[in-house]
Structure 1
Amino acid sequence: MISVNLSATATMKPAFSRYFSHPLRLSLALLLAAVLAGCASAPAPEPKPKLLVFLVVDGLPQRQITGYRDQLAPDGLARFLERGAWFSEAHYGHAFTVTGAGHATVLSGAYTHRNGIIGNEWRDAQTGEREYCTGDTTATYIGHKTQPLDGTSPKNLRVETVGDVLRAADPRAKVIAVSGKDRGAILPAGKRGTAYMYMAQSGQFASSTYYMQQHPAWVNSFNGRKLADGYFKTQWKPLLEEAAYARSLPDNQRWYGPRGGALPMLMGSPNDDAPGPAFYSQLLRSPFADALTLEFARAAITGESLGQDEVPDILSISLSGHDYVNHQYSAESRLSHDHLLQLDRLLQAFFADLDAKVGRDNYIAMLTADHGFMPAPEYSQAQGRDAGRVNGGQVLTRVNDGLEKRFGPGNWVSYSGSSLLFNRQLLAQTKVDANALAEEARALLLAEPGFAAAYTRRELESGSAAGRPFFEPMRKSWHPLVSGDVQYILKPYWMFGTGTATHGSPYEYDTHVPILAWGPRWVKPGRVDSRVGVVDIAPTVARWLGVAAPSSAEGQPLPLPN
């Protein structure tokens, strides 16, 4: 602060006036005054959160959050809906809405056509060999058996994530990801983070040798507690009274198959004497695997000192249980209804611990999903919809038979991701025109019941089919170096196989997911009804953390409430 003696200025006035009567001196004085004024009014740097807690609920459609909102706990999901920002029209822009593709998108801001994760599994475009989205035979699980197609690294991810950018800017930043599924941890962690995944063979969590050669002490300590074993012979009981589930389908629907599905549900077989792989796998289809995942996240916060200094950290948590439950019983089931309510209570307890450990004003929590879920075809048929099931093996046989009639003997195509992949060796031997083969394969595919649209490699590469039905989302699900040669989608409410329900389409029940954010210092509360994309999450998160958006990101920062 500058102090001025007013009486002294009166005696100095003539000299003062003569000094500033010179034009150059006057200009310099005015420039100096402007600079000083600018310095005085410059805003303080925007504070960064100490921790970003990024939550993905696998297989959670937006309709379930709004449909059961009145039954939520006061400070679980309601923390976002009542005291945070939420987006009522958040959607994926790609067509093949599956776990691998969704988790590759959320923190990269890039859809499949850039990130290269065309599905959960596919075939190598040149050799036809099977590939897994996070498969890498050069890395193995630490302390656990590893099969050739197990997920152990982000080798197939072709883009960077927010965590990669953050750690490139400051290597002191920590990026930890945990999930019930390997792809749910590995893909959000990016290339520079560290992923831990639930091991269904042991009920423990493990990383891989891509990240480290041995676990830190806190991981060994957590696994030594054998928390999963505590759920052996425990029952998953409904949280509310029977009448509260009137808006969802009763238990034991006929399309659940001969084993049915009802609550309460026993964890473990009545004949088992001790926990084993079947029991540890069963936990994934219950609230208990998510409880374990959140408990491991608590251990990571303490063990890695996340959010304890001025360098921002990221903790990514993908909760896998809801996807397993929805596949087994559908999102319309009472089991799915109750699972969401159980998960909501788990989140409430987790947020309370975050508030105590990190501080309410020190972190941002954000929640989304990797995809939604379609209803079971039988349920849709009962609602009067055109719905059904496709036997993928039979379709492939008929398509290959049709191609043989025109182009000669051989297995011409196989499935890869959401496309038909040509047999490259057969194509080279016969010198058949690839474009002619693609046109015929498309015609045969669209003659099958349940198929809605198909586009060829030539159309997808050139964009010549722009404006035609579903072309843009299908093109965003297609990568020229990884995908096959005829990209397809099924009709609404149709699915492959005999499972109860699934996902993987460009329709609203699969694309419409929650985007929720909470953090009082950074996020003002309110509902936003404008349509936004999941690719908008990464630029938003990057802005909060004070780093550039990932280089391949194609979204824009979310229009947060003012």
Structure 2
Amino acid sequence: MQPTRRIALVAALAAALLSACASPTAGTDPSAAGPAGKPKLLVFLVVDGLPQRQVLAYRDQLQPDGFARFLERGAWFSQAHYSHAFTVTAAGHALMLTGASPERTGIIGNEWRDPATGREVYNTGDTSATYIGHKTRALDGTSPKNLKVETVGDVLRRADPRSVVIGISGKDRGAILPAGKTGTAYMYMSDDGTFASSTYYMKQHPAWVNEFNAAKPADRFFKQFWRPMLAEDAYARSIPDEQPWFATRDARLPMMMGVPQDDAPGPAFYSALLRGPYGDALDLEFALAAVEGEKLGRDDAPDILSVSLSGHDYVNHAFSAESRLSHDHFLQLDRLLQGFFRDLDTRVGKDNWVAVLTADHGFMPAPEYSKTKGIDAGKINSAQALARINAGLAQKFGEGKWVMGYSAASLLLDKPLIAQKGVDLDAVAEEARRLLLLEPGFETAYTRKELLSGSRAGARYFEASRKSWHPDVSGEVQFTLKANYMFNSSSASTHGSPHEYDTHVPLLVYGPKWVRPGRIDTKVEVTDIAPTLAHLLGVPAPAGSQGKLLPLTAP
């Protein structure tokens, strides 16, 4: 494929899956062989940070063959949820194709602290691997070293090494975690707008990657404008631009890509492309290059192409999911996906591939927006809260910084200090939990002892907290925030809670040969995707999977 060719732009939600016989039930063995005639290519799409509520809110404004391909001619689940509490990007991407919650994957957050040293750990960090042809900084994501379980792709490649598994994303974690241990990940490089893999996967890029990068495809967007898809009155359902609480206060459409005074593209421009539709366009264009370069879907060994589109998450963090910018970005994704799907129909054959679309998490409404609706909402000064907790612990147990810091959604206690002082660890954890719950904005907190024993089973968000907690990685007190509360940051909005706005995501599936169209209202979990896809591909479910087959009807 010529890398400079016009890319079909398309955005989509994929949700639902399979069966050529009767509908699988909860008791169906996920490792049973799939229906006769496996798809040649499984396209797994993630729209980072897309809440289910946005999909239906703008359904009447969709293109005929983007998200509508799923909603009108595919299967889609109206009640697909995550069941773990700390709903962040890495945890979601690790879960989707493993079928395992963070309690098994070990990917408890985007970053956390080493329980022994307190040092920061990045979810896909690996100092033994470096980006190919690019500078690798501390905590950059370069491998799936920290992922403790296998993916559908790992099982597929073990069954048939001819199968190819590719992961692509604007974020390293969005590419690496779905690709698993034996796939290949390619990440967008924000220093020069190209894509690169790491030395974990290979020593040098194949020719098709070099050809794509040599064309410098990102440069064509320099000083181009992101313009709204529709007329002004079509955005009456979303919040106008230039809200005072936006991360960039004067942000509005049309928005130019690039700094006005710059004469040529540079790192600031390439990085800014991620917050808008053009970074997603590049991901999909690179994905089509991978289809050609790796000859995906061309033989009887099924392949997997995972593409995680990061732009929506960046837009929602900066402006919120209720903004006009997010509204329009969703419509831009829709158009991008439409082109992408039609190109796959031509290149792979419309009866040879299956698409699944979901999201790694939803998004909370911005606290300032919620307050205008009379909803209790706010931002928590996390540093001040931690200082007060440490002061309270010092008052009871003596001088010292008893909590080293936050680690994902937990408090990490200083165990060497506790041992030195001869204080009982459980007593410090219990007091830390008590002090934390006195802080405004915190809803629940559970100690290591409780999480290991299950002694608080049935308590609010206990099970969700337990699924987000890993005994080897997490801290001593796992917590959740109240609905519509977030830690203070430069973001207008965020995610990372067990509340419905964060757990409720799209789950859509398209593939006429395997999937009967229709809406399915049965409540399902995102962990159900992995065993269902394994069933479709005729291989056992990943060993760590906690999901069950999705309830689908025969075509």
TM-score by length of 1: 0.92
Is 1:545 the counterpart of 2:540? The answer is: no
* Corresponding position of 1:144: 134
Separation (CA, whole Å) in 1 of partners of 2:157 and 2:402? 45
* Corresponding position of 1:454: 445
Is 1:208 the counterpart of 2:206? The answer is: no
* Corresponding position of 1:533: 525
Shift of 1:258: 5.8
- Letter of the 1:539 partner, please give it: P
Query: Is the contact made by 2:34 and 2:538 (CA closer than 8 Å) also made in structure 1?
Result: no
Other structure's SS at 1:218 match: helix
- Relative contact order: is structure 1 or structure 2 higher (C-alpha 8 Å, sep ≥ 6)? 2
- Letter of the 2:458 partner, please give it: G
Alpha-carbon displacement from aligned partner over 1:87-125 (angstroms, at most 9, x marks no partner): 000000100000000000000000000110000000011
* Corresponding position of 1:199: 189
Is 1:87 the counterpart of 2:74? The answer is: no
Shift of 1:430: 1.2
Is 1:494 the counterpart of 2:446? The answer is: no
* Corresponding position of 2:9: none
Is 1:134 the counterpart of 2:134? The answer is: no
Match runs of 1:503-522 below 5 Å: 503-522=495-514
Separation (CA, whole Å) in 2 of partners of 1:303 and 1:437? 56
Is 1:415 the counterpart of 2:406? The answer is: yes
Other structure's SS at 1:370 match: coil
Separation (CA, whole Å) in 1 of partners of 2:460 and 2:133? 49
Separation (CA, whole Å) in 2 of partners of 1:45 and 1:412? 56
Separation (CA, whole Å) in 2 of partners of 1:396 and 1:221? 50
Match runs of 1:354-503 below 5 Å: 354-413=344-403, 414-498=405-489, 499-503=491-495
Other structure's SS at 1:559 match: coil
- Letter of the 2:368 partner, please give it: E
Return 5+ residue gaps in structure 2 as ranges: 1-32
Identify the structure with the greater helix proportion: 1
* Corresponding position of 1:17: none
- Letter of the 2:423 partner, please give it: V
- Letter of the 2:480 partner, please give it: I
Alpha-carbon displacement from aligned partner over 1:127-169 (angstroms, at most 9, x marks no partner): 1111000000000000000012000000000000000000000
Is 1:348 the counterpart of 2:369? The answer is: no
Query: Is the contact made by 1:127 and 1:424 (CA closer than 8 Å) also made in structure 2?
Result: no
Separation (CA, whole Å) in 2 of partners of 1:456 and 1:293? 41
Separation (CA, whole Å) in 2 of partners of 1:57 and 1:170? 29
Is 1:154 the counterpart of 2:144? The answer is: yes
Alpha-carbon displacement from aligned partner over 1:191-231 (angstroms, at most 9, x marks no partner): 00000000111100000000001000000000001010110
Query: Is the contact made by 2:62 and 2:68 (CA closer than 8 Å) also made in structure 1?
Result: yes
Is 1:332 the counterpart of 2:318? The answer is: no
Structure 2 counterpart of 1:309, from 290, 299, 309 = 299
Tell me which moved more, 223-232 or 44-53.
44-53
Alpha-carbon displacement from aligned partner over 1:48-88 (angstroms, at most 9, x marks no partner): 00000000000000000010101010000000000000000
Other structure's SS at 2:274 match: helix
Separation (CA, whole Å) in 2 of partners of 1:453 and 1:412? 20
Shift of 1:461: 0.4
Separation (CA, whole Å) in 2 of partners of 1:432 and 1:147? 39
Query: Is the contact made by 2:84 and 2:467 (CA closer than 8 Å) also made in structure 1?
Result: yes
* Corresponding position of 2:157: 167
Other structure's SS at 1:254 match: coil
Separation (CA, whole Å) in 2 of partners of 1:230 and 1:388? 41
Identical-residue share of aligned pairs (%) = 68
Query: Is the contact made by 2:34 and 2:536 (CA closer than 8 Å) also made in structure 1?
Result: no
Shift of 1:432: 1.1
Is 1:230 the counterpart of 2:232? The answer is: no
* Corresponding position of 2:286: 296
Separation (CA, whole Å) in 2 of partners of 1:509 and 1:44? 34
Going from structure 1 to structure 2, the CA distance change for 1:45 and 1:434 (only over 3 Å counts) comes to closer
Separation (CA, whole Å) in 2 of partners of 1:72 and 1:257? 28
Shift of 1:561: 3.0
Q: CA RMSD in A?
A: 1.1
Query: Is the contact made by 2:35 and 2:536 (CA closer than 8 Å) also made in structure 1?
Result: no
Shift of 1:260: 2.4
Match runs of 1:24-43 below 5 Å: none
- Letter of the 2:465 partner, please give it: M
Query: Is the contact made by 1:55 and 1:366 (CA closer than 8 Å) also made in structure 2?
Result: yes
Larger CA Rg, structure 1 vs 2: 1
**Residue-pair matches, total:** 520
Separation (CA, whole Å) in 2 of partners of 1:270 and 1:298? 31
Separation (CA, whole Å) in 2 of partners of 1:86 and 1:431? 56
Other structure's SS at 1:178 match: strand
- Letter of the 1:231 partner, please give it: F
Separation (CA, whole Å) in 1 of partners of 2:142 and 2:397? 40
Query: Is the contact made by 1:527 and 1:561 (CA closer than 8 Å) also made in structure 2?
Result: no
Structure 2 counterpart of 1:282, from 272, 277, 286 = 272
* Corresponding position of 2:25: none
Query: Is the contact made by 1:141 and 1:208 (CA closer than 8 Å) also made in structure 2?
Result: yes
Other structure's SS at 2:112 match: strand
Query: Is the contact made by 1:528 and 1:561 (CA closer than 8 Å) also made in structure 2?
Result: no
Separation (CA, whole Å) in 2 of partners of 1:70 and 1:376? 25
Separation (CA, whole Å) in 1 of partners of 2:413 and 2:347? 54
Which aligned runs of 4 or more in structure 1 are off by greater than 2 angstroms? 257-260
Return 5+ residue gaps in structure 1 as ranges: 1-42
Shift of 1:282: 0.4
- Letter of the 2:80 partner, please give it: A
Separation (CA, whole Å) in 2 of partners of 1:416 and 1:409? 22
Structure 2 counterpart of 1:556, from 545, 548, 551 = 548
Separation (CA, whole Å) in 1 of partners of 2:527 and 2:342? 29
Is 1:188 the counterpart of 2:188? The answer is: no
TM-score by length of 2: 0.93
